Amino acid sequence: MSKREPFNDMQIELFSTSEGIYAINSPVRVKILSMLRNGELNFDQLVERSGKAKSTVSVHLKRMANEGIIGSKVDPLDARKKIFFIKSEYLGKLSGKKVVTEKIEDYVTSYVDSSGDPYEFFRLIFLTIRVSLIRQGIDIDPILYEAGIKVGETLYSKVKDPDINKLAENIAMFWRTHNLGQVEIESLDPLIINVSDCFECQSLPPIGRPACAFDSGILKAVFSAHFQEELVVNETKCYALGDNYCSFTIKNKDW
C-alpha cells in the first residue's frame, strides 16, 4: 500500500463546474490542470511534460472530462489527436500549511486606533476576511482576479482615452480619489505601473508571493480593452513579498 501524503503537504485545487465544485487532490491531476491553465495542450504534450505514463495520463484526463473539469477538441493539424483545455472555473486552492500566524485582533485594533476613515473600515473588512482565509490555507486569488476583471471592464468606460498617457493619468486619479493607492507609470514600453499605499496588500503580513490579484484583474481588463488585444499582467513587486511598493508589468501574452 502506498504511503498516504500528509495533509500538511497536500495541495488541493478547487474547480467549479455546472455539476458543482470539485476538490482535486491528486498530484497528477493538479499537475495536468496547472499546465492546462497556461494554455491548451495535446495528449502527447501532457504526457511529456507531466513525466507520467500514457495510461496514467489517459485515465486522469477521462475522469476529469466526465466531471466537466476539462474538455477536448480535435487537433486541426492531426485529426487522430485531441487538444485538451479547461472548461471549468478555477476557484483557488487549499493547503494544510498555516502561512499566516498574525491575530485578526491586530487588524481590528489598527482600525480602532485610526481616525475612523470609512475607507479604512472597508479595507479592514477586506483584509480581515482575506487573512482569515489565508490562515486556514485557503487561496482565493483566482476569484479576486476574476472579480477584478469584471470591475476593470466597467471601469474602462470611465477612464478610457486614446492617449495612453491620459489613460494612465485617469487611472491614477481613480486610484487616488478612491483611496486605492498612489499610481505611478514607470515605463510605457514595456508598460510598468507601480502602486504605493496599495489597499489590497499593504497591511498583509509577508506571505511569500504577490497578493494583488484584484488589482491585476482590473489592469488586465482596462489595458486589454485599450489595446484591443489580450494582455497579461505580472506582479513583480508586492508588499506581501516584503517590497516597499507593488509593481505590475503589462504586456502581450506572446511577448
Give the residue from 31, 66, 91 where a domain finishes.
91
pLDDT tens-digit series, residues 133-184: 777 677 788 888 888 999 999 999 999 999 999 999 999 999 998 888 999 9
Both 159 and 245 in one domain: the answer is yes
Domain assignment of residue 196, given as a range: 141-255
Both 68 and 110 in one domain: the answer is no
Return d(Cα 179, Cα 159) in angstroms, integer: 16
Helix (H, G, I), strand (E, B) or coil at 70: strand
pLDDT band for 226, please (50, 70, 90 cuts). very high
Both 46 and 147 in one domain: the answer is no
DSSP string, 132-153: HHHHTTEE-HHHHHHHHHHHHH
Both 209 and 151 in one domain: the answer is yes
Return d(Cα 244, Cα 204) in angstroms, integer: 13
Which DSSP letter does residue 9 get? G
Both 79 and 153 in one domain: the answer is no
pTM, rounded to two decimals? 0.65
Both 106 and 149 in one domain: the answer is no
Does 1 fall in a domain? Answer: no
Helix (H, G, I), strand (E, B) or coil at 250: strand
Q: How would you class 91 by CB atoms within 10 Å of its CB: exposed for 0-12, middle for 13-18, buried for 19 or more?
A: buried
pLDDT tens-digit series, residues 188-218: 888 999 999 998 988 888 888 899 999 999 9
